[in-house]
């Protein structure tokens, strides 16, 4: 089945009011492509205001795991993000797993909070270089995904997006070959099929890790690659739009 391509711009800890205004005003809708941008928390409200008349949707980059309110200094809850206009939240990004010690269990707990608030998780999974070299890719990504399914139930995936992001490809300029990425995407879809075939067929599985205008088309040509989670290239309007146009070109209706 053909799924509409989804391109998510993960701005990470980048941007300023001035830079965001310029970037967002340069982003235009692209046919057959759904576009989401994920600014830092503090820019969600201003980005939402700027995108009022746009089909571009908003994601947050993180969410509190424990509760929707209470004594959790420095945290931002799912309900607060929903109030700010976010529709999606990135969870389990490898930078959070690596630098902030986020475990599979914590990622699953964050997904529960999103479920309560009616927000859609963009669940990141992916192996390190050492894990790939040890032949553990399928073991790692299935462990990461099953932790979420076990806590939240398979129905969550009817509302969710999965992003396969090999850790060694993020921000390094190294991309998985389209065939290597396709193999993991197919594996993930088959894993979900075991639980629910209908959800698996509709599920968007994005690739992330050094996606650029010049490698996007070959990735999007793969049957189980439904779009991209884009870091660095999402900060430059022309580069990001070129990736969106490559997604549109690959759409077969
Ligand atoms: P990158 O980041 O495109 O800069 O490699 C991707 C990501 O971390 O989501």
CA of 166 to the centre of ligand 1 (A): 10
3-state SS class at 28: coil
Determine which residue's CA is closest to atom 3 belonging to ligand 1.
231
**DSSP string for 42-96:** GGHHHHHHHTTTSS-EEEES---SS-SSSS-TT---HHHHHHTT--EEEES-HHH
Give residue-wise pLDDT tens across range 103-152: 999 999 999 999 999 999 999 999 999 999 999 999 999 999 999 999 99
Reply yes or no on whether 165 is catalytic. Answer: yes
Q: Is the CB–ligand 1 distance for residue 232 below 6 Å?
A: yes
* pLDDT band, very low/low/confident/very high, at 253 (cuts 50, 70, 90): low
C-beta of 165 in contact with ligand 1 (< 6 A): yes
Backbone angles phi, psi at 59, to 5 degrees: -125, 150
Q: Using DSSP, state whether 238 is helix, strand or coil.
A: helix
| Cα 163 to averaged position of ligand 1 atoms, centre (Å) | 11
H helix intervals, 85-136: 94-99, 104-117, 129-133
Q: How far is CA 18 from CA 11, 25, 44, 61, 97, in A?
A: 14, 11, 14, 20, 30
CA count, 13 A, side-chain hemisphere, 166: 25
| Gap from CA of 71 to ligand 1 centroid (Å) | 32
- 57-97 residue pLDDT tens: 999 999 999 999 999 999 999 999 999 999 999 999 999 99
Classify residue 2 by burial, with Cβ atoms within 10 Å: 0-12, 13-18, 19+.
exposed
Q: Is 170 in the pocket of ligand 1 (CB under 6 A)?
A: yes
Q: Is the CB of 228 under 6 A from ligand 1?
A: no
Q: Is the CB of 15 under 6 A from ligand 1?
A: no
């Amino acid at each position: 089945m053909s799924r509409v391509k989804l391109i998510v711009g993960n701005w990470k800890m980048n941007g300023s009011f001035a830079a965001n205004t310029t970037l967002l005003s340069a982003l235009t809708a692209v046919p057959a492509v759904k576009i989401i941008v994920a600014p830092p928390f503090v820019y969600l409200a201003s980005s939402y205001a700027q995108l009022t008349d746009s089909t571009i949707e908003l994601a947050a980059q993180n969410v509190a795991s424990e509760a929707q309110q209470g004594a959790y200094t420095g945290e931002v809850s799912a309900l607060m993000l929903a109030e700010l206009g976010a529709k999606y939240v990135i969870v389990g990004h490898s930078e959070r797993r690596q630098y902030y010690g986020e475990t599979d269990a914590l990622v699953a707990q964050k997904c529960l909070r999103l479920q309560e608030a009616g927000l859609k998780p963009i669940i990141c999974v992916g192996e390190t270089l050492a894990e790939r070299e040890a032949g553990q890719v399928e073991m790692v990504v299935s462990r990461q995904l099953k932790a979420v399914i076990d806590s939240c139930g398979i129905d969550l995936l009817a509302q969710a997006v999965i992003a396969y992001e090999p850790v060694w490809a993020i921000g390094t300029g190294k991309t998985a070959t389209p065939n290597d990425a396709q193999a993991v995407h197919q594996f993930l879809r088959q894993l979900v099929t075991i639980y629910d075939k209908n959800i698996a067929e509709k599920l968007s599985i994005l690739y992330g890790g050094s996606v650029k205008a010049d490698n996007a088309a070959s990735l999007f040509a793969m049957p189980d690659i439904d779009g991209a989670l884009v870091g660095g290239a999402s900060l430059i309007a022309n580069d990001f739009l070129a990736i969106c146009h490559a997604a549109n070109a690959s759409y077969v209706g």
